[in-house]
Amino acid sequence: MPQARITATGSYVPAKKLTNLDLEKMVDTSDEWITARTGIKERRIAARNQACSDLAAKAGASALKQRGMKSSELDLIIVATVTPDTFVPSAACMVQEKLGAAKAAAFDINAACSGFIYALSVANAFVRSGQYGKVLVIGSEVLSKITNWQDRSTCVLFGDGAGAVLVEPAPAGEGRIVSVDIHADGSKGDLLMIPAGGSRTPVSEETVKKGLHYLQMSGNETFKVAVKTLENLVLNTLRSNGLQSSQISLLIPHQANLRIIKATAERLGIPMERVAVNIDRFGNTSAASIPIALDEAVREGRLKRGEYVLLEAFGGGLTWASALLEW
Ligand SMILES: CC(C)(COP(=O)(O)OP(=O)(O)OC[C@H]1O[C@@H](n2cnc3c(N)ncnc32)[C@H](O)[C@@H]1OP(=O)(O)O)[C@@H](O)C(=O)NCCC(=O)NCCS
């Protein structure tokens, strides 16, 4: 079976910054609390007229430009998101239209913060099966529009942004996706959810009054499960690939909380210099956080051919996922 690799990256974040000091004026919180508990200093907020597919198309276009590929060559577009412009059509179909990728199939994936790695696993399988050769995978979120700006336990955490990668067949010696692991535990789904707006509890005057269309999270409980799950996940990923943590050149974790990122790196014995961190600037952008961090690493020249890169994420569902790349 042919192998697949990431051939280009791109990202886009909205211009508007919302700092911890701005949040101090909105809810009962402090820069000190947010920095100490999460590592976040500021996050980006989409403009009123910007939705998921707008950010996604910009990130996708940036990956295509880096590769020098025309959008008309794309076979498939996958968008990982929990904040699509609309339930129907999918954000991916809107991106297809915006990019002019007329021959590409398109669909969305919802695996919350693990969504990008889930989407990468699908792209990897399509390319390895030989069905598609040029797949655009995008993580894009406009979490600011599903955030309850009166709830200090969540509104300080999230931000907006998009990241993209191109996945194509890998010629020998030019990097590859070594392995992708995806997992879920639906029994703990209530830890992180949007209670209303779906077919269980459709939007009504009552649900809007109660704010049930906003993201809700049992932060502390989720934190504990995340740390434990991610430790096992990354150790298993190394073990099953016969690698030592010293062989990982860069760990790119989902950016949910600096304390979770540090705990995972410490468990692996990877010094923070080899961990991609941008949570201070972007907060938690769910499915977008890993591809944004990967794009930054590529543009900063942090990745060299043949080096191992480990991606890992944990999020609502619950879901968790890892991917090992040989760059
Ligand atoms: C959300 C999170 C930052 C909260 O940090 P925490 O250390 O768990 O804090 P707690 O929720 O236990 O709250 C501690 C105290 O701070 C208070 N608090 C919560 N938000 C606050 C805020 N923005 N500003 C000030 N105080 C706040 C709480 O009310 C609580 O006060 P109390 O002790 O008087 O009850 C953290 O739990 C987290 O990151 N969770 C996991 C996120 C994650 O991985 N999600 C999955 C992917 S999205």
d(CA 26, CA 22): 7
User: Which residue reads 């907020």 in tokens?
Assistant: 45
Give yes or no: residues 80 and 160 share one domain.
Answer: yes
Catalytic residue among 113, 155, 183, 257: 113
pLDDT recorded at residue 172? 86
Which residue's alpha carbon is nearest to atom 4 within ligand 1? 219
Of 106, 138, 173, the residue that ends a domain is 173
Give yes or no: residues 164 and 234 share one domain.
Answer: no
d(CA 52, CA 86): 9
The model's pLDDT over 57-102, given as tens digits with 9 standing for 90+, comes to 999 999 999 999 999 999 999 999 999 999 999 999 999 999 999 9
Give yes or no: residues 90 and 216 share one domain.
Answer: no
Identify whether 213 is a catalytic site residue.
Answer: no
C-alpha 196 to ligand 1 mean position (Å) = 23
Q: Which amino acid is at 183?
A: H
Give yes or no: residues 166 and 283 share one domain.
Answer: no
Calculate helix-pair angle for 258-268, 31-38, nearest 10 degrees: 30
Closest-CA residue to 309 (of 259, 257, 245, 260) = 245
Of 152, 173, 194, the residue that ends a domain is 173
Q: How far is CA 64 from the centre of its chain?
A: 19
Probe target for ligand 1 pocket from 223, 262, 320, with the most ligand atoms within 8 Å of CB: 223
Which residue's alpha carbon is nearest to atom 25 within ligand 1? 29
Of 156, 173, 190, the residue that ends a domain is 173
Closest-CA residue to 193 (of 17, 4, 319, 41) = 319
Give yes or no: residues 100 and 218 share one domain.
Answer: no
d(CA 293, CA 287): 11
Which residue's alpha carbon is nearest to atom 47 within ligand 1? 315
C-alpha 218 to ligand 1 mean position (Å) = 9
Domain tally, the chain: 2
pTM, two decimal places:
0.97
- Ramachandran quadrant class, 266 (left: phi over 0; alpha: psi -120 to 50; beta: rest): alpha
d(CA 26, CA 305): 46
d(CA 223, CA 231): 12
pLDDT recorded at residue 136? 98
d(CA 34, CA 281): 13
21, 262, 153, 149 alpha-carbon torsion, rounded to 10°? 50
d(CA 311, CA 322): 5
Give yes or no: residues 151 and 181 share one domain.
Answer: no
Give yes or no: residues 195 and 169 share one domain.
Answer: no
Closest-CA residue to 43 (of 151, 132, 157) = 157
Max alpha carbon distance in the chain (Å)?
58
Per-residue pLDDT of the chain (327 residues; tens, 9 = 90+): 789 999 999 999 999 999 999 999 999 999 999 999 999 999 999 999 999 999 999 999 999 999 999 999 999 999 999 999 999 999 999 999 999 999 999 999 999 999 999 999 999 999 999 999 999 999 999 999 999 999 999 999 999 999 999 999 999 888 999 999 999 999 999 999 999 999 999 999 999 999 999 999 999 999 999 999 999 999 999 999 999 999 999 999 999 999 999 999 999 999 999 999 999 999 999 999 999 999 999 999 999 999 999 999 999 999 999 999 999
Domain range for 24 is 3-173
C-alpha 17 to ligand 1 mean position (Å) = 22
Calculate helix-pair angle for 52-67, 91-99, nearest 10 degrees: 50
pLDDT recorded at residue 38? 98
| DSSP H stretches of helix in 39-169 | 52-67, 91-99, 115-129, 152-155
C-alpha 113 to ligand 1 mean position (Å) = 18
3-state secondary structure of 326: strand
Ligand 1 binding pocket (C-beta < 6 A) is 29, 33, 37-38, 113, 152-153, 156, 192, 219-220, 222-223, 226, 256-257, 260, 284, 314-315
C-alpha 238 to ligand 1 mean position (Å) = 31
CB-count burial class (<10 Å; 0-12, 13-18, 19+) for 216: middle
Identify whether 113 is a catalytic site residue.
Answer: yes
d(CA 267, CA 281): 25
Instruction: Compute the Cα dihedral for 213, 218, 223, 225 and give only its sign.
Output: negative
Catalytic residue among 20, 257, 278, 284: 284
The CATH number assigned to the domain holding 48 equals 3.40.47.10
End-to-end CA distance of the chain: 19
CB-count burial class (<10 Å; 0-12, 13-18, 19+) for 219: middle
Give yes or no: residues 119 and 241 share one domain.
Answer: no
pLDDT recorded at residue 184? 98
User: Which residue reads 């399988």 in tokens?
Assistant: 125
Give yes or no: residues 133 and 222 share one domain.
Answer: no
Give yes or no: residues 290 and 169 share one domain.
Answer: no
Probe target for ligand 1 pocket from 220, 255, 260, with the most ligand atoms within 8 Å of CB: 220
Which residue's alpha carbon is nearest to atom 19 within ligand 1? 153
Atom of ligand 1 nearest to the CA of 154: 1
Give yes or no: residues 253 and 133 share one domain.
Answer: no
pLDDT recorded at residue 206? 97
Give yes or no: residues 83 and 188 share one domain.
Answer: no
